[in-house]
Chains A and B, each alone.
Chain A
Amino acid sequence: MRRVIEGSHAVAEAVRLARVQVTSAYPITPQTHIVEILSEYCEKGALKARFLRMESEHSCLAALIGAQLMGVRTFTATSSQGLAYMHELLHWAAGARLPIVMAEVNRALAPGWNIWTDQTDSLSQRDTGWIQLYCEDGQEVLDSTLLAFRLAETVNLPVMVVLDAFYLSHTYEPVDIPTEEEADRFLPPYAPRFRMDTAEPCSFGALVPPGDYMEMRHDMALAMEDALMQLVEIEGEFTRIFGRRHGPIEAIDCNDAEIILVTSGTITSTARLVVRTLRERGEKIGLLKIRLFRPFPAAILRETIGRAKKVAVIDRNCSFGAGGIFAQELRAALCNLDPRPLIYGYIAGLGGRDVTPEVIEEIYRRTQSTDRPEAEGVWIGLREAL
Chain B
Amino acid sequence: MSEAAMQNRLFIPRSCLTTEGNKTGSWRFLRPRYEDKTAPCAAGCPAGEDIPKIEMLTAQGFFKEAWETILQENPFPAVCGRVCFHPCEGSCNRGEYDDSVAVHTLERFLSDTAARYDFRPSFARLPSRKERISVVGAGPAGLAAAWFLTLLGYSCDVFEASPEAGGVLRWGIPAYRLPADALRQDLRRFEREGIRIFTRRPMDRQFFAEAAGRYQAVILACGHGRGQSLSIPGEMEVGVIEGLDFLRMIRASEMAVGGGTEAVIVNGAGCGRSMDTLGEGEAAAEGSEFPGKIGEGALSSFDGLTAVIGGGNTAVDVARSVIRLGGKAVICYRRRRQDMPAFADEVRMALEEGVALEELVSPATAGRDGEEIVLSLRQMIVAGMEGSGRARVIPDGDKMKEVRVRRVIRATGAGPEESWMLPAVEGTKVLALSHCRLVSGEGKLVVVYAGDLANATKSVAHAIASGKEAAIALNALLREGSEAVIPRLQACAVGDGPALSMEVCLGGERRLRSRHIVSYTEINTDHFGFAPRITQPRLLVEERVRSFAEIDLKISAGLAMKEAERCFNCGLCNGCDKCWLYCPDVAVIREGEARRIHYDYCKGCGICVVECPRNAMSLGEGEGEG
- Assess the A203–B15 pair: CB atoms within 8 A: yes
Q: Nearest residue in A to B6 (C-beta to C-beta)?
A: A226
Q: How far is the CB of A39 from chain B (nearest CB, A)?
A: 33
Q: Nearest residue in B to A215 (C-beta to C-beta)?
A: B11
Q: Which residue from B5, B11, B15, B16 sits with its C-beta under 8 Å from A216?
A: B11
Q: How far is the CB of A226 from chain B (nearest CB, A)?
A: 4
Is B129 in the interface zone, CB < 8 Å from A?
A: no
- Contact-residue size bin, chain A (C-beta under 8 Å from the other chain): 20 to 34
- 0/1 per residue, B1-24, Cβ < 8 Å to A? 111110010111111100000000
- Assess the A202–B14 pair: CB atoms within 8 A: yes
- Cα distance A215–B13 in the bound complex, in angstroms: 11
- Cα distance A226–B13 in the bound complex, in angstroms: 20
Which residues on the A side are within 8 Å of B13 (C-beta)? 95-96, 204-206, 208, 212, 216
- Cα distance A203–B12 in the bound complex, in angstroms: 11
Q: Nearest residue in A to B17 (C-beta to C-beta)?
A: A202
What is the total number of residues of chain B having a CB less than 8 Å from a CB of chain A? 13
- Assess the A216–B12 pair: CB atoms within 8 A: yes
- Assess the A194–B11 pair: CB atoms within 8 A: no
Using known A-B contacts A97-B10, A156-B10, determine if residue A223 contacts B4 with beta carbons closer than 8 Å: yes
- Assess the A222–B14 pair: CB atoms within 8 A: no
Is A229 in the interface zone, CB < 8 Å from B?
A: yes
- 0/1 per residue, A194-219, Cβ < 8 Å to B? 10000010111110100010011011
Which residues on the A side are within 8 Å of B14 (C-beta)? 194, 202-204
- Cα distance A273–B11 in the bound complex, in angstroms: 47
- Assess the A226–B5 pair: CB atoms within 8 A: yes
Q: How far is the CB of B1 from chain A (nearest CB, A)?
A: 7
Q: Which residue from B4, B8, B15 sits with its C-beta under 8 Å from A222?
A: B4
The winner among B3, B13, B16 for most chain A CB atoms within 10 A is B13
- Assess the A219–B2 pair: CB atoms within 8 A: no
Is A383 in the interface zone, CB < 8 Å from B?
A: no
Is A237 in the interface zone, CB < 8 Å from B?
A: no
- Assess the B10–A193 pair: CB atoms within 8 A: yes
- Assess the B12–A202 pair: CB atoms within 8 A: no
Q: How far is the CB of A123 from chain B (nearest CB, A)?
A: 25
Interface residues in A216-247 by Cβ distance below 8 A to B read 216, 218-219, 222-223, 225-226, 229-230
- Assess the B10–A226 pair: CB atoms within 8 A: no
Using known A-B contacts A97-B10, A193-B10, determine if residue A226 contacts B15 with beta carbons closer than 8 Å: no
- Cα distance A156–B15 in the bound complex, in angstroms: 18
- Assess the A230–B15 pair: CB atoms within 8 A: no
- Assess the B4–A194 pair: CB atoms within 8 A: no
- Assess the B1–A226 pair: CB atoms within 8 A: yes
Which residues on the A side are within 8 Å of B12 (C-beta)? 96-97, 194, 204, 216, 219
Interface residues in A40-94 by Cβ distance below 8 A to B read none
- Assess the B2–A222 pair: CB atoms within 8 A: yes
Is A254 in the interface zone, CB < 8 Å from B?
A: no
- Cα distance A96–B1 in the bound complex, in angstroms: 22
Q: How far is the CB of A193 from chain B (nearest CB, A)?
A: 6
- Assess the B15–A194 pair: CB atoms within 8 A: no
Is A155 in the interface zone, CB < 8 Å from B?
A: yes
Q: Which residue from B3, B5, B15 sits with its C-beta under 8 Å from A202?
A: B15
- Cα distance A222–B4 in the bound complex, in angstroms: 6
Q: How far is the CB of B8 from chain A (nearest CB, A)?
A: 8
Which residues on the B side are within 8 Å of A208 (C-beta)? 13
Q: How far is the CB of B220 from chain A (nearest CB, A)?
A: 75
Which residues on the A side are within 8 Å of B2 (C-beta)? 222-223, 225-226, 229
Which residues on the B side are within 8 Å of A203 (C-beta)? 14-16
- Cα distance A155–B3 in the bound complex, in angstroms: 12
- Assess the A222–B3 pair: CB atoms within 8 A: yes
- Cα distance A226–B3 in the bound complex, in angstroms: 9
- Assess the A223–B15 pair: CB atoms within 8 A: no
Q: Which residue from A202, A204, A216, A229 sits with its C-beta under 8 Å from B1?
A: A229
Q: How far is the CB of A221 from chain B (nearest CB, A)?
A: 9
Which residues on the B side are within 8 Å of A226 (C-beta)? 1-2, 4-5
Q: How far is the CB of A112 from chain B (nearest CB, A)?
A: 41
- Cα distance A95–B3 in the bound complex, in angstroms: 18
Which residues on the B side are within 8 Å of A218 (C-beta)? 11
Which residues on the B side are within 8 Å of A225 (C-beta)? 2
- Cα distance A193–B4 in the bound complex, in angstroms: 13
Which residues on the B side are within 8 Å of A219 (C-beta)? 4, 10-12
Q: How far is the CB of A231 from chain B (nearest CB, A)?
A: 12
- Cα distance A96–B13 in the bound complex, in angstroms: 8
- Cα distance A173–B598 in the bound complex, in angstroms: 72
Which residues on the B side are within 8 Å of A212 (C-beta)? 13
Which residues on the B side are within 8 Å of A229 (C-beta)? 1-2
Q: How far is the CB of B351 from chain A (nearest CB, A)?
A: 73
Q: Which residue from B5, B15, B16 sits with its C-beta under 8 Å from A155?
A: B5
Which residues on the A side are within 8 Å of B3 (C-beta)? 222
Q: How far is the CB of A97 from chain B (nearest CB, A)?
A: 5
- Cα distance A84–B559 in the bound complex, in angstroms: 71
- For the complex of A and B, the 9 pairs showing the least CB-CB separation, nearest first, are A219-B11, A222-B4, A226-B2, A202-B16, A203-B15, A226-B5, A208-B13, A206-B15, A216-B11
Q: Given A97-B12, A222-B2, A222-B5, 20 other A-B contacts at CB below 8 A?
A: A95-B13, A96-B13, A97-B10, A154-B5, A155-B5, A156-B10, A193-B8, A194-B14, A203-B14, A203-B15, A203-B16, A205-B13, A206-B13, A215-B11, A218-B11, A222-B4, A223-B2, A225-B2, A226-B1, A230-B5
| A–B complex contacts, Cβ < 8 Å, 9 sampled | A216-B11, A216-B12, A219-B4, A219-B11, A222-B2, A223-B2, A225-B2, A226-B2, A230-B5
